[in-house]
Structure 1
């Protein structure tokens, strides 16, 4: 192993908490952009003369470009320096945000979102890897609580911010807002984030190609399936995507040098379970906003801001409970914490799905969102902390890359699946409104049509509801953490927290 920065130099300069908050700003921004488009969907449909499926691709393209490289960018951070790869990604993301806001066609917006996703993929694994390396294991739960809570809050703040900006300044500002935030985030990260020791790595470019091709074929086939009437070539894409991903896993097992995904990471049961749990959460976050926002604006006649404010109770609970959950994460069995989280989230999402009706009251929706918010607060941060707690430091980047890749894979599949489900239910209940209809762009005046549209959105909401069931089953397999400090045991001194390896 070679190092461009000595451990002693790194330790001298490390101030963990200021570095964490600098990283969280950029991380928050890129996660907001996962969901900020959902509330602007009807406006973009109208302004850019786009279909529902095309606007869903605005998010799916971002998620795909985010998910595919994130496996290799974690390793690149280990090799060339997490700080510098983070700064490079932040620059790409910020410039791509300007491009998104300046586009005048839906096709160019999708292309700009791909570039934006590439920037995000460079940033995310670096944030998690740096946290893993600068905080000692016994205190990592509190740091990951901030990181994980940021993810949870960003997923619901995105639509709220998107609604305010779309109403007040225009849909373009959901992207322009990233420019000043990106510049501030760059300055803070440059000043506060330490340049940690680097590690030699070989790069599995065949693995990158196989994972990228497989994910694209699978996501494209799922999302375009209904629109293309499940033509044989669509089925072939889906089957081909699964086959290529299977080849990817086989190659990872046989690669004797340094595979893109070290399958040995999954020998840690908690890492494996956490990856299932976070892929579920990625799928939920990418899917539930579309039917909810379309229902609110098309059936209730809400403005983008009013529709987005339906998510406010969920965001508040994530913020209020962040500190409590962070303290519990270091001391309580993850099976108990996440089991409660997924159970509560399921109850709240099921309530929400059943409430999507023209006669639903705001207070009823608010209660359901509070329950979902409570549940989510007990999932995001503990999952992140539990996933990486036992990993050797030299695999911090690889572990962070895998973890964030699985979250993004869940987002890609969730986004594609909700597009298919909404189109299918609209086609069955309101023929002609599934893809190119105007039902999502303005209020529906006819009571019968509004009722059927609500039913389609309600049935679509069963997808994220079912995903919470998968997450609940998965977290039952957590084992007790092994780190010092768990269950009240004394924690070791954090003197060597910045060293390249604890093992």
Structure 2
């Protein structure tokens, strides 16, 4: 569960090595063709949050299974994103993009037809694989389809649509679940895909990038390593943190991740070029983005259910009440984007993460002190939302600021992957805190676990704010 902040890829902004002759289509048509599938994939990051209490009842799902309904999508998305970009370079970006849309739609049908928690988890993993092909390629295809003079405007609109998907996810999910059924949140994707595929083929020209082999060994090591770590954290409270299964899973995950790093340092075609992390602005931006995702989206997972389980709101009412948090970035992010060239990204990132930490701490303290009304949470939600808006654009700028042009596409994909992995780890870690603190899925027991979980999330985000102090002062600042 994660929010995807737009990070323009430099390869998107330069002429491609091979690009099909585009039809003469308007910028608006190209924008719709690229943005609608991306909106669909972004929406499904958070559309399930307000449906979780209903899924718990309808599918007799445990808390662990609810986590996997979210994390199966996120881990699949994160693990396959860079591979999908590489396949797009080799086989054709539009071809892989259309394939991703098709897979996403088929997986949505499977999700809607699921009659058990296990079936829904498997379908969500397939959805994540489809989204992995949609997100990194939509911007690349859009940039190639619009005239250079309108490219910056088009990318700005693309980013706004991405933010809209984040903001409306809980609201649309709540409205559909309450007004129709939980299955309908997945059926909605099908007509969107049916319209999107021919529109993409009409409006977006085919293009190719550098042809290079996919590091399948590295892909397997990284994916299985992260999966083992997340699985172990999720099982920690039930099996015991010193149990053989949990300790063995953590050790296996750590060993696989270490093997992945060794592999990437030696192969000629690494999935993640480790040399990128020698650039300080890139390393700091990714470390702070990981902390942000762990703290914020782990808290979103538990808070979204609190509004229904403990405060008694309907799914739609709960979704609407997340808007001070999820919609604020749409207003604040453009302002941060304008300020970054003047101030540099470091003060904006530090301030944004500090405000998010304060917002999460406010929520945790309010719940822990016995808050019984939504109004007591609003200041914390607003602080977190403003801070999130200050973080998005500067973080994207920092990732790309000191990269060579040929590396910027890869750098953007690596950053998006790290954020997605952070979201999955965050859900696992904060639910573990929730459970260990005595939290239960009951009106009286939910606050017992939510308060410490939100405070742990706040501490992790605050650590991310401290990390940003290592960012070079000049990063992102335009010199006169």
TM-score range, shorter chain: 0.7 to 0.9
Please say if 1:252 is aligned against 2:261. Answer: no
Cα distance in 2, alignment partners of residues 389 and 18 from structure 1: 30
Shift of 1:93: 0.6
CA contact (8 A) 1:351 1:368 kept: yes
Deviations 1:151-182 (A, max 9, x none): 55433432222111111111111211222233
Relative distance call for 1:28 and 1:76 in structure 2 (3 A) is: same
Secondary structure of 1:49's counterpart equals coil
CA contact (8 A) 2:89 2:209 kept: yes
Cα distance in 2, alignment partners of residues 488 and 191 from structure 1: 42
TM normalised by structure 1 equals 0.83
Once the two structures are superposed, the pairs formed by residues 296-311 of structure 1 within 5 Å of their partners are 296-311=307-322
Shift of 1:207: 0.6
Relative distance call for 1:87 and 1:284 in structure 2 (3 A) is: farther
Cα distance in 1, alignment partners of residues 188 and 456 from structure 2: 31
CA contact (8 A) 1:32 1:154 kept: yes
Cα distance in 1, alignment partners of residues 144 and 291 from structure 2: 26
Cα distance in 2, alignment partners of residues 345 and 332 from structure 1: 20
CA RMSD of aligned residues (A): 3.0
Please say if 1:240 is aligned against 2:273. Answer: no
Range with bigger deviation, 60-69 or 323-332: 323-332
Relative distance call for 1:341 and 1:30 in structure 2 (3 A) is: same
Relative distance call for 1:191 and 1:471 in structure 2 (3 A) is: farther
Cα distance in 1, alignment partners of residues 413 and 173 from structure 2: 28
Shift of 1:47: 0.6
Cα distance in 1, alignment partners of residues 21 and 403 from structure 2: 20
Cα distance in 1, alignment partners of residues 262 and 353 from structure 2: 32
Once the two structures are superposed, the pairs formed by residues 143-182 of structure 1 within 5 Å of their partners are 146=157, 150-182=161-193
Range with bigger deviation, 360-369 or 48-57: 360-369
Shift of 1:398: 2.4
For 1:463, the equivalent position in structure 2 comes to: 456
405, 416, 419: which is aligned to 2:428? 416
CA contact (8 A) 2:363 2:380 kept: yes
For 1:272, the equivalent position in structure 2 comes to: 283
Shift of 1:71: 2.6
CA contact (8 A) 2:144 2:205 kept: no
Cα distance in 2, alignment partners of residues 5 and 335 from structure 1: 32
Shift of 1:461: 1.2
Relative distance call for 1:201 and 1:14 in structure 2 (3 A) is: farther
CA contact (8 A) 1:129 1:396 kept: no
For 2:377, the equivalent position in structure 1 comes to: 365
Secondary structure of 2:239's counterpart equals coil
For 1:474, the equivalent position in structure 2 comes to: 467
Shift of 1:396: 4.3
Please say if 1:189 is aligned against 2:184. Answer: no
Structure 2 residue runs without a partner (length 5+): 1-14
TM normalised by structure 2 equals 0.87
Select the structure with the greater relative contact order (CA < 8 A; seq sep ≥ 6).
1
CA contact (8 A) 1:124 1:404 kept: no
Deviations 1:330-375 (A, max 9, x none): 4430112212211211111211111226543333322221211111
482, 487, 491: which is aligned to 2:478? 487
22, 27, 41: which is aligned to 1:30? 41
Relative distance call for 1:31 and 1:470 in structure 2 (3 A) is: farther
339, 342, 351: which is aligned to 1:340? 351
Cα distance in 2, alignment partners of residues 203 and 60 from structure 1: 24
Please say if 1:349 is aligned against 2:356. Answer: no
Once the two structures are superposed, the pairs formed by residues 285-304 of structure 1 within 5 Å of their partners are 285-304=296-315
Relative distance call for 1:43 and 1:358 in structure 2 (3 A) is: farther
Shift of 1:135: 9.3
Relative distance call for 1:201 and 1:304 in structure 2 (3 A) is: same
